[in-house]
Amino acid sequence: MLRFKHRMRPRKITVVAAGSPEERLKRLRQLVTGLIRYERVEPTYSQADEARQYAERLLYLAIKNGDSHQPTMELANFWLLEKDLVHKLFKVLVPRYKNYKTCYTDLHKLAITYPGYGSHNGLLELRGNPWPPVIAKQRDTKQLLSNVLLSAARRDYYNNKQKSQSTSSVSKNEFSSSVDPQQEDDNSAHNKQG
């Protein structure tokens, strides 16, 4: 089976142009072919979710069995409508994903476009593709001048606060040690009598 956790139960495309099973299968084959060709496609989210499973399975079997395995070649010929992509599958993508321990594709839910149909678009892409990332990489803001100055000010504030607390506790200790306890008892006894 697959080397990673993946839901294997088949799911159907909820909205298709023509409702026949042949049209649904044709659309899935077009999506898998487009994914292998361009390494990124943007169908509806439900279509991308279903096509992802078939693309993952095709890549997994191609990596596991290689191009000398006849059933794998037949599967590649079925799913890839353009036959030049069979060469790309075995010579480009298989070496790229040979040592992957996770899934080979990413699926992102895109925002609803307005005006539009009101359904979410999905973005299905192969990992390690040449396109710019969908989710932008977060900048490291730790070394920005404003953040460096704020962290230095925060450090100075807490250092000064600790120094003032330690000096106030020392002065209280000095004050209490300067008063003789015997004298204190005599004064308290004198105040009670008086």
Residue 9 inside a domain? The answer is: no
Residue-wise pLDDT for 40-90, tens only, equals 999 989 899 999 999 999 999 999 999 999 999 999 999 999 999 999 999
Longest dimension (CA), the chain: 113
Which of 184 and 105 is assigned the larger pLDDT? 105
72 and 118 co-located in one domain: yes
Q: What per-residue confidence (pLDDT) applies to 10?
A: 66
Residue-wise pLDDT for 57-70, tens only, equals 999 999 999 999 99
Residue 136 inside a domain? The answer is: no
- Asked if the model's pLDDT at residue 180 lies above 60, the reply is no
Which structural domain range is residue 77 located in? 21-126
- Asked if the model's pLDDT at residue 11 lies above 70, the reply is no
Structural domain count, the chain:
2
Residue-wise pLDDT for 144-169, tens only, equals 899 999 999 999 999 999 988 888 77
154 and 100 co-located in one domain: no
118 and 149 co-located in one domain: no
CATH of the domain at 94: 3.90.1030.10
Q: What per-residue confidence (pLDDT) applies to 183?
A: 55
Residue 135 inside a domain? The answer is: no
Residue 39 inside a domain? The answer is: yes
41 and 122 co-located in one domain: yes
